[in-house]
Amino acid sequence: MNAAAWVGFALAMMAGGLAVLCRREAKQLRAERRRTETLAEENARLSVFLAALRSITAHAVFIVDESRRVLWMNEAAREQFAGPIDAGHSLEQIISHPEVLELVTRAVSERLPQERQYMREGASYHAQALPIEASRLIAVRVRDITELQRLGRARRDFVANISHDLRTPISAIQVMAETLKSSSVAENPRKRKQLVDGILEQTSALQQLAQEILDLSLIESGRMPLRLVAFPVGDLIGPALRPMMSSIERNKLHVEVHIPDDLKVLADPEHVRRVLQNLLHNAIKFTPAEGVIIIEAREQGEDIVISVSDSGPGIAADDLPRIFERFYKVDRMRSERGTGLGLAIARHIVEGHGGRIWAESAPGRGATFYFTLPRA
């Protein structure tokens, strides 16, 4: 092979090698482009996920590194702790709870989940620090569990109250029924009538208890609709008082009604009557013999304010903010029959009409309960 042929052969080999290199480089570029596109898609999905997590998570969540520098935080964390401070600052600058900082330190050093419950400024919190696998990052969650604890106490109180309120009438019914079986009572019509009346009274108490629980469940779930009509406020008084006249007469209570004839409300008459009955029931229960109960109504802007006042022992200032909570019973009610549901039912009904309900009282000066309804 002459020199020219060798040169041609060499050039051909070089051209082939360059072609192979070019194809290999192009393949690597395409693979790199696909990796870049995949990373971009994953980053986009992660951004969407973090954006959703930022807005939908109700509890404060932080992502921090080993030096406790905040890399990410959700809206709840910003609203609860950070204010204008955003990610990039140290956790100490954002949250001043040493209990949380201690959890993060332990999670970093031990690489194990940490959690604890603590109190700050009268509120209860539950904090968790969770190491994130395949990284040196820590996820921190802080929950305000004050309301959860309050509801837990309310449920326990409710169970205790229900147990007591069921046991009392059931025991009374059992005793009276057993007494009825005795031969001496069978021959005494007057005694027999007293026992039967007692059984009926205790049965009525059980029915009221069951009805209150059912009503509260329906109201809170929104399954008890309101049928709004215009009607005079004065038309409520007779039907509300009628079931309680025996208690009023027995205790020689004086009931005063001060309601102008022209006052009308836009409301559901049956539900409003229930509110008034609950308030009157409390007033009658706590007003001493020969005491006074006053029912009034007046205009106030676009509303009608209805009030029920008693001359009883009053309500302590510490109890006033809580008397409309479901299942709550103030100390003066402990020995009385009832679950503490009546005022909670009244509050839900009034608020369902767009009104509000409140009480004013001082120990030894009686109590006045007010509620508003839209004027017709």
Report how far residue 126's alpha carbon sits from residue 345's, in angstroms, rounded to the nearest whole number. 32
pLDDT the model gives residue 360: 92
At 43-67, the pLDDT tens digits run 656 555 555 555 556 788 888 998 8
Which tokens go with 23?
């194809």
Q: Which of 53-57, 115-119, 337-341 has the highest mean pLDDT?
A: 115-119
Q: Dump pLDDT digits (tens) for 279-311.
A: 998 899 889 999 999 999 999 999 999 999 999
Mean pLDDT for the stretch of residues 255-264: 91
pLDDT at 203: 86
Identify the band that residue 355 occupies on the pLDDT scale cut at 50, 70 and 90.
very high
At 1, the pLDDT band (50, 70, 90 cuts) reads: low
pLDDT, tens digit, 9 for 90 and up, residues 144-201: 998 888 878 777 777 777 777 788 888 888 888 888 887 677 678 888 888 888 888 8
Q: Please give the average per-residue pLDDT across 218-222, as a whole number.
A: 73
- Position 39 confidence tier, pLDDT thresholds 50, 70, 90: low
Give the pLDDT confidence score for residue 147 in this predicted structure: 85
Q: Which residues contact 179 (CB under 8 A, 6 or more apart)?
A: 185, 195
Do 58-144 and 147-224 come out as alike in CATH topology? no
For the whole prediction, is pTM greater than 0.75? Answer: no
Residue ranges per domain, the chain? 9-56, 58-144, 147-224, 225-376
What CATH topology corresponds to 58-144? Beta-Lactamase (3.30.450)
Which amino acid is present at 116? R
Spatial contact of 56 and 48, defined as CB atoms under 8 Å apart: no
The two three-digit tokens of residue 277, written as one number: 């009955």
Average pLDDT along the chain: 82
3-state secondary structure of 178: helix
Nearest to 350 by CA among 263, 234, 269, 271: 271
Give per-residue pLDDT as tens, 94-112.
888 889 999 999 999 998 9
Q: Which fold has domain 147-224?
A: Helix Hairpins (1.10.287)
Q: Phi-psi bin for 285: left (phi > 0), alpha (psi -120 to 50), beta?
A: alpha
173, amino acid identity: I
Chain centroid to CA 242: 35
User: What architecture is domain 225-376?
Assistant: 2-Layer Sandwich (3.30)
For residue 8, name the pLDDT band (cuts at 50, 70, 90).
low
Cβ-count burial of 32 within 10 angstroms (0-12 exposed, 13-18 middle, 19+ buried)? exposed
> What residues does 72 pair with on adjacent strands?
63
Q: Summarize the confidence of residues 12-28 as an average pLDDT.
A: 67
